[in-house]
Amino acid sequence: MRTPLKLNPISYFILLLAAAIALCLAAFYVAFFHSSSIGTPAPSIHFREIYQSEAWDFARGDYRVHLPDEAVIAPVYNRDDFIGITFQAEHGAAFTPGKTETLDITGGFITMDNDTFQELKGETLFLSVDDRISASRLSLSARQLVTLPTVEVIGHQRIFLPGEEQTYTYLEKDGQALYGPETIDPEHRFWMLSFFGLQLFIAMLFAQMLTLDLPTPKPMLHILKTFPLWREFAAALISLLLLYGAYLYLELPPLSRDFNLYSLSTYAGIMIFLVLLAWKHLISRQLFGVNWQNIWRSIIVSLVLVLVITFFSALKFPTGLTVATASQGATLFGLLFACCLAKELFWRGFIQTLLERTTGRWGGLLLTPVLVTGFYCLVIYTRSPEILADPARQLELFFFLPGLSLLLCYVFLKSRNILGSALLHTLLLFLPQAVTF
């Protein structure tokens, strides 16, 4: 990349390193001095005791909650601070005074202090669960409740706790979240965007430093110098329409973080369609970023970026695994990789390359995230427009999604190997499901 100043590679590397260090210090400042605004790193949560209770009725925030006999209740601590309770019940209920609608609930999480908890508990009988195996299972299930609702930030979850004068209530039924109050206060947004914006730029700086000397493979360089045929634009439009139809009629999850066979089949089918067009010479030869050049550097770049993103997302390193066996972990990774590779071949290997051939490399880098974000917004708006009113989903769609797409596009731009962006994409989905903090 050319710079206004004529710097040799070593000077350029030192300049980028200094910028990365400055951004790291800024990110740490935001994290440690404004942690209450950013949210709690997930999950720095402790369960000291888990109880089974008799029938319990209490009012908190906008809800009055009824829990039947043998409901499971666990006080939740963030480090040493009591932050609320999580509960599970087979046939619980919640309603808002003044409204006739009653919600059937099976679990939830409510913020409160310890004094409020003791006051609400009153004379209700709470029995400690002493069996270690049962307590471990209940604790694991409770953790899953406490980490919701979340904002996904390039792979890691963070819970946003309200201020002292506010109450946050999360309710769910059979694992499905029920609509409640807004999950993110407007005052949280600035610090959150600042912190994760810095995180994104730090990752891109590391990608730049690790790929300074990588040349573009000659076959790819030749393709990038040719302007697309009109049939290639038509093929891209048809592919997007097919993908849009699949999301609507197959009800594919738009922003899924799990393996989905129908999603994999859809993307694989579209890629076969494009390969057949190229084989029939209806469109230009397509490489889709599939080559053996720069492959090891691409893997190294992906691993380093995952390490950087993981640390800055959770502000700590992983402490354990959630997968039971190595084969289970390998199976999960393999399924996610197949799905991510198919998506990367289409969005980065075909769409980004097409846009680069049309508008230049930086045009392709900037336009691809816009197109990806617009596509998913259109899918969500068509299927469930009410979701767009959720502040957490707004941030996910208009900040985290384009941010992740920009990072993946940048890795592909610098390495010109689709394996790098596919591996990075896979690890960012795999690690939150496979490790604990």
Q: What would the pLDDT profile of 19-60 be if each residue is shown by its tens digit?
A: 767 766 776 666 566 555 555 555 566 788 888 899 999 988
- What's the DSSP call for residue 412? H
120, 58 contact by CB (below 8 A): yes
Measured between alpha carbons, how far is 407 from 312 in angstroms, rounded to an integer?
Answer: 15
Window from 220-234, 317-331, 352-366, 370-384 with minimum mean pLDDT: 317-331
Kindly give, in sequence order, each residue whose CB lies less than 8 Å from that of residue 79, ignoring residues fewer than 6 positions away: 44, 46
- pLDDT, residue 309, reads 85
pLDDT number for residue 388: 78
pLDDT, mean of residues 110-130: 88
Report residue 1's pLDDT band, with 50, 70 and 90 as the boundaries. very low
Separation between Cα atoms, residue 23 and residue 208, nearest integer Å: 15
CB 55 within 8 A of CB 68: yes
- What DSSP element (H or E) covers 156? strand 156-159
Q: Is the dihedral of CA 413, 414, 417, 420 positive or negative?
A: negative
Q: Which of 31, 72, 78 is nearest to 51 (CA)?
A: 72
Q: What is the pLDDT of residues 177-209, one digit of tens each?
A: 775 545 566 666 777 777 788 888 889 888 988
What is the rounded CA–CA span in Å between residue 356 and residue 257? 28
Q: How far does CA 133 lie from the centroid of its chain? A: 31
User: Who wins on pLDDT, 60 or 421?
Assistant: 421
Cα–Cα distance measured from residue 154 to residue 310, given in angstroms and rounded to the nearest whole number: 9
**Domain-wise residue ranges, the chain:** 9-24+189-436, 38-183
Provide the percentage of residues in the chain whose pLDDT is more than 70. Answer: 78
Can you give the pLDDT at residue 24? 66
CB contact burial 401-436 (16+ within 10 A = b; e otherwise)? bbbbbbbbbbbbbbbbbbbbbbbbbbbbbbbbebbe
Largest CA distance in the chain: 79
Residue ranges of alpha helices (H) inside 250-346 are 261-279, 295-314, 326-344
